[in-house]
Structure formats: C-alpha cells, structure tokens
Chain A
C-alpha cells in the first residue's frame, strides 16, 4: 500500500514536471486569464467567451501578424489561489491578464503585475474599488456600479417616478450594499426622493416582512431599487403582485440579466426594469457575437460570455494602438482608448476614467415573458464612487 502510494506520487510528479512543454508556437501573444471556473464566482467568469473572441481574431490573421493565445488558470474563487495563478501567468510572459470578479481576488494579481507593467482587467467586476486600489494597471471591463445605478436613476426620473425605496442586503458584497446607495444619490440629485431603506437577506423564498413594511407606507414608492440577483429579484415582484401592489416598478442592474428571473417571476416579471451591459438586439454586435460563437460550438450562459470576449477586444485594440506587445506599452494604450466599438456596446471610453470605463448601457424590460430593450443610455450624472 505504502509503496504503491510512493510510486503513484513519483509518477505524478514526473508527469507534472513535463507539463510546461507546450505545443503552441513560441511567438504567440499570451493573454492570461485567472478565471473563476469553479467556486462561488464561477457564474461571472467565462473562459469560453474569451477563447471564442481569440478564435475569431486569429482566424482573421491575429494581431500585428501574430496569433493570440489564451492561457486560463482556475483560481477557484480563492484569493491565495488567484495570486498564485496570477504569478504563473506573469512567469509565462503574459502581455495582459484578465482577472476574477471580486476585488480581494483581483488586487493581489494587479500588485504582482505592477512591477512588470502588465495591465490587469477584471472581466466581470463592477466594483470600482479594484481600479482604485491599483490605478496604474487595474481596469474594469464592465461599467462601474455607480454608472449603472446612475443610469437607472436617470431613467426612473424620466419615467416620472418621484419616490423610491432602496432594498439593502449585506449578503452579496458591495453589489447589494453600495449599488442602491449610488442609485439613491443620483435619484435625489435629479429631484427624486428616497423614502426609506429596507434590509433583506438574499436567498429566501418569502419577503412578506418587507412587503408589509411597504404596505404600511404612505405615500407608496413608485420604484424599488436593489442589487437584485436570482432568485430574490424575482420573488419580490411575485409577492408584491400577489398582494395587489403591481404598480410598483422593481429596478436593478445586471443581476437581473438572467433568464432564470423570467421563470421564477412569471407574470410579475413585467414589473421589472433594469440597466445592463448590453442587449443582443437583432443586428447588434452582441447578437452577431453570440450567433457566431454558437456556430463554433460554444455555449452561451449569460452576458459575461460577451464581456469576456469584449475584454479580449479591448486588449487587441490596445496592442494595435501601441504597435507592440510590450505590457507597459499596452497598459499605456488602454488608458488612451476612446469611443471604442465593443461587443456588448458600441461605445467604450477608458481615457481619463481611472480604470472604470464609461460605456453605453441598455435599459431592459420584460414583454410577454421575454427580455426586450427599451433604449440605450449613457447617464449625464454619475455618482462619485
């Protein structure tokens, strides 16, 4: 038994030491991706989305005449593992690194990459804290929560909503905590009024306590904003509708951008409106990207598939603008990107934005049980992060 163990261990070690041998060409441009493939952040990262965009670019001849190569490592939604994966990607000579969706996992990677001048882009994080922690080389690919919440507030005011209730939860990080506050700041700045903040816990199947609190209010809110995610974001309107409060609009941001919401909310889904990264409307770049990738055999889970592709596009644009694959030059070029046409949106600007891009977003509602775009939006007032 013991001898067998030693033998297996020795063979496996032998195998492991062989692994750095790579089949790919040596002059490929390496893009690292410390992705959350497993663990709690897994729904928000998409190695497939990045790989699909790389396939598309390489098919058209690559960048600066060289092929792009994705090196993905699973960081298992763990901060220590993320730093290790980041170091591994730096050792490989990555030109740029894509990082996981939370700031405690992304900041160590940015800190390790900083001495090499390597830019680090979080594919799915909307938390503005990440670029703030490493302003030299850290970027978000999505908008910041303050931008989307500001857009939601602007849309709400234009609908004539006057009174709002903020739903606050501490269970899902700053998304449930800070996003509603950004909405509140923008809503009041534009002339609306925040009547109340109500706490809730995510993952419950019954929100009658919150419902009763709102039933007791006079006047009642026109809009309830929260960092809603599946399933709570759907349970709320369902219960409110059952109680006869179907005139209230539930607003949120990309947490609502999940087909699961439609099934759970049923008919009450028509009470939901949200601001998200983009919408695969017919003829849009996102729709074309989804269709092309589906044809190539990839499976599209959610919007983060598109954002992962967009991350690659941002890096490609920067490499071309820099005319070089030197990480520091690419990093500097990202800072100059202005009005770039992306995949989820037709306008991305990093210039003078401190790592958090300004992007045109989409306001979405539910019609006949399907997501449907109302309009594009780029808010005039953005609450301070």
Chain B
C-alpha cells in the first residue's frame, strides 16, 4: 500500500502537467492540433510501454510495435460492421466474418490476445540477452509484419481494413497515458523492477543475490506488451483504418528515438523524450511548409522533419548517451535540487 501511495505521489506531477496541457489543447486549439496532441499521447503510451521492458531489463527491443499491430488488428477484425467485413474479408477464418463485438469487449479481447502473444514470445525472449536478444525482438517485428501482410483472409494483407468505429478521442488518450505512466512507475520502483534493473547492471551479481532474471524479464515483457497493446487500440479506434505499414520500421524507430532521447531507464525521461520529439517534429513540420514569420516568407523545405529527427538523435548520442534525464525521475531531480540547496545553506551558515 505504501508503494502504491508513493507511486501515486510520484506520478502526480507529470500526469497533472500533461492533463492540463491536453485539456487546454482539447478546448482551445484547432482540430488538427487536437489530432497532433492525440498522436503525442498515443506515442507516449507506446513509448512508456516499451520503456517498461527496455528500461528495466536493459535489453533493447525492436519488436514492441508488433504488439500495437496485433491489438489494432484484433480490434479492427472484431468491430468492423458485418456488411463491410463481408466485402473486405469474406473468407475470414474461425467464423470471424460472422461476428461483430461492441467496442468495449473487442478492446478487452484485443488486449487479452496481445498479452497471450507477449507471453508466448516472452518464453523465448527471456532466455537471451545482448545482441542475440535484440535480434530476436527484431525477428518478432518481422514475423508479425509478414503475417499481417500475408494472412490475407484474416487481415486483408497489404490492403487496409476500414470501417472500425471511431470511438476514441483526446480525453481517452490522456486517460490511457495517465494509467500507463502510473503502471510503469509502479513497476519500476517495485521489488521486481528494482531486481530487474539490478540484473541489467550486472547480471552475475544479481543472479548470485537470488534474482530470478528470466522470470522477471518475462513479467516485464508481458506487461510492456500489454501497455503497447493499449497504444494499438488507441491507433485503430482513432483512425478507423489500419494497414500493416503502420506497425513496422518507421513507427519502431520513431518510438525508439523518443525512448532513447529522454533516457530509457527513466519513465520521466521517456515523457520528456516523447514531448521533445513531438513538439520538435511539429515545429519542423510548420517550418517546412514555408510559413510567413515576422513578415518574412520562408521557403518550403519538405523533409525538414526527418532531418530534425536525425539531428536530435546524433546530438543526443554524442552529448548525453544515457538520454537527457539519464537514470533520474522527476522526483529525483526535485529531491536532488532540494538537497543541493540544503547543502549550500549548510555551508553558508557554517
């Protein structure tokens, strides 16, 4: 209970700030800016989901976007109205062409399927670390992409599935990200999280202290698969149309950049990274369209956003390899600042 309260207190600051920002945008910004905010919260959910595994276990994962894809596809296949489904996937296996679920049960089933897949794939992932582990996660990504593309009867292959009821909106994404932030922080500071982080620092030492690394890795993998799955639900229920290309390298590297920029070992870092990349991309996007600034017409420079992303990652890797926040959470920064101030005061009085 103590841990629960402490987590609640620690996650209050970021959740509060994000909620205020989101609410302001929701009520006062233009429709397309609301969409950009939604994309931010959706990516935040996925990035924090990824952090739960990557940040705690120290194993880099390229495979998490697949969880997003799986939950999105399940939601799509279960909720598309029957008439539309008949024209898109008439030969759907398991009688899926004949059933339609309401959105809530579809989302629950989607998350359950994602968790089941995460558990099965986790049985393999938990055994390997280092480069082998990373390649294995990459394999998960490629396998899922190939299945999305090739199981045409079920997923419609490279063509997109459309007609998913648009049930989500910015408040839902904000709520989801708040829940995800809380869960990620709770896990990070829990006994399991602490032991897992210890194992990523020094595997042998952790094992010799009795840390059951495999079991904890599986736990983190499944939990982060679940959280990323929520991101997939947010994706499908907002766009209403999905295709396999949304769950492949482009999205993977965008999320990776967000996680690595802020500092993958800290939840706060991921929030900072996601915010910086989202705001930066949007500024770059505005500039690339050739706006008028202070009466000066800028030239159109398409491609500026990609350039910005690349530059940010190069700078970050050169200057701060552990990310902007490194190992620190927001509460650590506040506490450290207080401690420094107290120390200064102490030296002055002395």
A residues contacting B by CB (< 8 A) are 9, 12-13, 15-16, 18-23, 37-40, 47, 72-74, 76-81, 83-85, 87-88, 90-91, 102-105, 107-108, 111, 127, 129, 132-133, 170, 172-174, 177
- Contacts beyond the supplied A18-B294, A78-B246, A91-B32: 8 A-B pairs with Cβ under 8 Å: A13-B283, A22-B292, A74-B302, A84-B36, A87-B31, A102-B243, A104-B245, A174-B157
Q: How far is the CA of A15 from the CA of B300 in the complex (A)?
A: 15
| Contacts from B to A (Cβ < 8 Å) | 30-32, 35-36, 39, 42, 87, 149-150, 157-160, 162-163, 166, 235, 239-243, 245-246, 250, 279, 282-283, 285-289, 291-294, 297, 300, 302-303, 305-306
Please, how many angstroms separate the alpha-carbon atoms of A326 and B69 in the complex?
39
The reply to whether B242 and A23 form a contact with Cβ atoms under 8 Å apart is no
Once the chains are docked, how many angstroms separate the CA of A132 from the CA of B279?
A: 36
- Could you list 23 examples of A-B contacts with CB < 8 Å? A12-B283, A13-B283, A16-B282, A16-B283, A18-B291, A19-B289, A19-B293, A21-B292, A37-B303, A73-B285, A74-B289, A76-B306, A79-B246, A81-B39, A84-B32, A102-B243, A104-B160, A104-B246, A129-B160, A133-B162, A133-B163, A170-B158, A174-B159
From B42, B240, B243, B282, give the contact of A103 (CB < 8 A). Answer: B243
Chain B residues with Cβ below 8 Å from A73 are 285, 289
Query: Which A residues are CB-close (under 8 A) to B35?
Result: 83-84, 87
Q: Tell me the bound Cα distance from A172 to B149 in angstroms.
A: 10
Question: B residues within 8 A CB of A80?
Answer: 39, 42, 235, 239, 246
Measured between alpha carbons, how far is A103 from B305 in the docked complex, in Å?
Answer: 24
**Known A-B contacts A16-B286, A74-B305; A103 and B32 likewise in contact (beta carbons under 8 Å):** no
Question: With A79-B239, A177-B157 known to touch, is A170 a contact of B149 (CB < 8 Å)?
Answer: yes
Instruction: Please give me the residue from chain B that is nearest to A127 by CB atom.
Output: B159
> Once the chains bind, are A107 and B160 in contact (CB under 8 Å)?
yes
**Are A132 and B246 in contact, with the CB atoms below 8 A?**
no
Chain B residues near A22 (CB-CB < 8 A) = 292
Q: Which residue of B lies closest to A47 (CB)?
A: B302
> Closest residue of chain A to B319, judged by CB?
A1
* A101, B300: Cα distance in complex, Å: 22
Contacts of B32 in A (CB 8 A): 84-85, 87-88, 90-91
Contact B242 A79 (CB under 8 A): yes
Assuming the contacts A15-B283, A78-B250, A170-B157, asked whether A38 and B293 have C-beta atoms less than 8 A apart, the reply is: no
**In contact, B158 and A18 (Cβ under 8 angstroms):** no
Residues of B close to A87: CB separation below 8 A:
31-32, 35
Query: Hey, which chain B residues are within 8 Å of A104, CB to CB?
Result: 159-160, 241-243, 245-246
CB <8 Å contact, A103 and B160: yes
Cβ-defined contact, A38 with B303, below 8 A: yes
A74 partner, pick from B282, B285, B292, B297, beta carbons under 8 A: B285
Contacts of A107 in B (CB 8 A): 160, 162, 240-241
Chain A residue with Cβ nearest B158 = A173
Residues of chain A within 8 A of B292, CB atoms compared: 18-19, 21-23
B279: nearest chain-A partner, CB-CB: A9
